[in-house]
Amino acid sequence: MRKFLIVGLGNIGEKYEETRHNIGFKILDHLAKKENISFETERLADRAEYKFKGRTFILIKPNTMMNLSGKAVRYWLDEEKISSENLLVLVDDVNIPFGEIRIKARGSDGGHNGLKDIQAVLNTSKYPRFRFGIGADYSRGRQVDFVLGEWNTEEREALKERMEKSVEAIKSFGTIGLERTMNFFNGQ
């Protein structure tokens, strides 16, 4: 059975729950609710396991805080004996319009501290990442407030459909592969 490590990035704690920066957690929570599975707190992360079409998806939400996510990713890759090409990291991105999905096989951290730490710990930028656009509707010098701010009413309503699309993309990654998933979902 093929295994995949799906990592949703976010910050732990109630005050961060509905922030834009926590979209990685939010997508995995949506998948878990939809498939009636639950997360258990384990070493360095909240973990759930989901089986779909002969594949095992290990879902983790690191509890190390966003900027130290690499330690949890490394641990669970090793623990589950999963190669980095079967890793998918879900993050927010201010450089992408709200709700748009961009999946890539590799790339820079794009200024995202969670990705920066993962790349430093794994010593590579060659691992798939799923960027969820949160837009850039903030004034100069207010990026941190925007990213750590909560979704507005319009965004919250649109998120329902975008979460469904995100879950489809995760399942696609594990079943039809990275290239076809990128072709199908990028820009949607």
- Per-residue confidence (pLDDT) for residue 140, from 0 to 100: 86
Task: Give the orientation angle of helix 23-34 with respect to helix 153-175, to 10 degrees.
Answer: 70
Mean pLDDT of 106-122: 90
Asked if pLDDT for residue 168 goes beyond 70, the answer is yes
Read off the DSSP letter of residue 144: H
Integer Cα distance of 42 and 60 in angstroms: 9
Q: Which residues contact 85 (CB under 8 A, 6 or more apart)?
A: 127, 128, 178
Distance of alpha carbon 98 from the chain centroid: 15
Asked if pLDDT for residue 138 goes beyond 90, the answer is no
CATH topology (fold) of 2-185: Rossmann fold (3.40.50)
- Per-residue confidence (pLDDT) for residue 1, from 0 to 100: 66
Share of the chain above pLDDT 90, in %: 86
Asked if pLDDT for residue 187 goes beyond 80, the answer is no
pTM of the full predicted structure?
0.95
Q: Which of 11, 12, 20, 21 is catalytic?
A: 21
30 catalytic per annotation: no
Amino acid type, 83: S
Asked if pLDDT for residue 188 goes beyond 80, the answer is no
Contact assessment for residue 173 and residue 4, using Cβ atoms and an 8 Å cutoff = yes
Mean pLDDT score across all residues of the chain: 94
Each residue's pLDDT tens digit, 27-57: 999 999 999 999 999 999 999 999 999 999 9
Integer Cα distance of 47 and 105 in angstroms: 24
User: Of 106, 107, 169, which is closest to residue 132 (Cα–Cα)?
Assistant: 169
